[in-house]
Amino acid sequence: MPTVVRSLLDRLRALEVATRPEHPDLTAALARRWEDLPAHVKTPNQMLGTRSAGCEGTHGVFPRCNLACTPCYHAKEANRVRVDGPHTQREVDRQMGLLRELRGPGQNAQLIGGEVTLLAPEDHAAALQAMHRHGRKPMSMSHGDFDYDHLEALALDPDTGERRFDFLSFAGHFDSMMFGRRGIKRVHDEAELNPYRERFCAMFQRLEREHGVKHYLAHNMTVTPRNIDQVAQVVRDCRDMGFRMFSFQPAAFVGNQARWKDAYRAFSSDEVWQRIEEGAGARLHFRAVQVGDERCNRTAYGLYAGDRYAPVLDEDDPRDQRVLGDFLAGFGGMDFVAPPALLAARTARAIARRPQILPHGAGWAARLVRRAGGVRHLRANPPTPITFVMHAFMDARDVRPAWELLEQGVMSDDPRIRATQERLQSCSYAMAHPDDGRLVPACAQHSVLDPDENLRLVELLPLHGGEPEPATV
């Protein structure tokens, strides 16, 4: 075949792949994920294996933290490991490489471990760039106690002063069970943290004003018997600060035992969700879509138009469920962040795969506008999307035996351990182990694997004495 013809064919093939709604590697990864899910989560509203392969997080890349949380999910040795930029960059690169290989491109990944802003901005930036390089959508997980200088140095190229990221995604962890924050070492109630939450959001708003770097901010909060009754007020107080996601984690008995303070199992997931709804001022339709197992995750997508909250999908309306089915069948795992021409081509092909989405989608859009208060109300109150999430980690005493049996291919007869195994099999939050080429649920990582891993890291990266003292509880 003449070279010119071969080259033309190659380009046509590349164009055909680039304009598919999903990258073929993602299509294959989603199919595998769906195949591996247990039957009880293979529901029409399941996102795993249809839209996403699941969330991802790093581990063992910078275990140290300079605040203290009760509870803290990290092993007690974590603070004896030095923060080391080259180690972080190397391990993030390896972990993300495996995730790209096993899960395809375009998945959300959290740069998480200890406190990410203890890394030098250059190392933080290099880790995010490695994540992008491997097709991940990174989010930096921080306690939010850092300065604008770090953020600016992270966002800008030090040689040119130009921005090196157009967009940064951060989750700020704020709750009254954290100790050692500058300016407020000990917190008595959640409202005392509001100025610190505002300051966190304001840094990103300033970065956008001064350098054009856009952002997505999530607010993370651990829920215990001490602060459950303040959840609603936190949502009310913080709704307009600039966070686009509010994520609540009912505390679990995992990680450093010295930091276990309360009867964490004194309330149910329903009780937490009820407080979130009180704060949101609306019912939150978490059964419209499901990510993994409902005992692990609740997610409610919606938008505010003024004070009025509208769910994106009404879980009671079969027409909305049908639209979701059309969307998943047509668009699947399509990444909507793409250049306009590519996005248009992918959208056209997605609609061609599922033409019903046009009439059904038009009906859904009209219902959403009605739920949000109508066209006039929306004109006067431009909508702001806000997502509410609850993620309930499991206790180490259950995860350990459940995981050990799963490793042997055995399902437990004990109902509690079996339920734990079902959740681990449906896990939506994985961590990568490049040495043996496998992914493990974050619960298994923290409950089973972290202690040994941190002991190895203590030997590999011992403290050299100049590190800031971590806070004590």
Binding residues (CB under 6 A) for ligand SF4: these are 292, 296-297, 391-394, 423-424, 427-429, 441-443
Nearest to 231 by CA among 179, 196, 270: 270
Q: Minimum Å distance from CB 290 to ligand SF4? A: 12
Q: Minimum Å distance from CB 446 to ligand SF4? A: 8
What is the residue whose two structure tokens read 């992914």? 439
Q: Which is nearer to ligand SF4, 38 or 97 (CB)?
A: 38
User: Starting at the edge strand that comes first in sequence, how are the strands of the sheet with 308-311 ordered?
Assistant: 308-311, 297-305, 384-391, 245-250, 214-223, 167-173, 136-142, 107-111, 55-57, 429-433, 438-441
Q: Which is nearer to ligand SF4, 56 or 123 (CB)?
A: 56
Q: Which is nearer to ligand SF4, 55 or 461 (CB)?
A: 55
The token pair at 24 is 């073929």
Q: Minimum Å distance from CB 292 to ligand SF4? A: 5
Q: Which is nearer to ligand SF4, 215 or 391 (CB)?
A: 391
Helix, strand or coil for residue 231?
helix
Q: Minimum Å distance from CB 258 to ligand SF4? A: 22
Number of residues in the chain: 473
Cis, bond preceding 340 (omega within 30 deg of 0): no
Q: What is the CA radius of gyration of the chain?
A: 23
With the C-alpha atoms ordered 109, 115, 117, 121, is the resulting torsion angle positive or negative? Answer: negative
Phi, psi dihedral angles at 453 (to 5 degrees): -60, -40
Q: Using an 8 Å Cβ cutoff, are 96 and 42 in contact?
A: no
Nearest to 121 by CA among 160, 164, 82: 164
Q: Minimum Å distance from CB 393 to ligand SF4? A: 5
Q: Minimum Å distance from CB 399 to ligand SF4? A: 8
The CA-CA-CA angle for residues 275, 280, 284, to 5°, reads 80
Q: Which is nearer to ligand SF4, 89 or 110 (CB)?
A: 110
Q: Which is nearer to ligand SF4, 346 or 423 (CB)?
A: 423
Q: Which is nearer to ligand SF4, 290 or 297 (CB)?
A: 297
Q: Using an 8 Å Cβ cutoff, are 138 and 128 in contact?
A: yes
Question: How many Cβ atoms are within 10 Å of 267's Cβ, its own excluded?
Answer: 17
Q: Minimum Å distance from CB 395 to ligand SF4? A: 10
Q: Minimum Å distance from CB 214 to ligand SF4? A: 28
What single-letter DSSP state applies at residue 79? G
Q: Which is nearer to ligand SF4, 264 or 304 (CB)?
A: 264
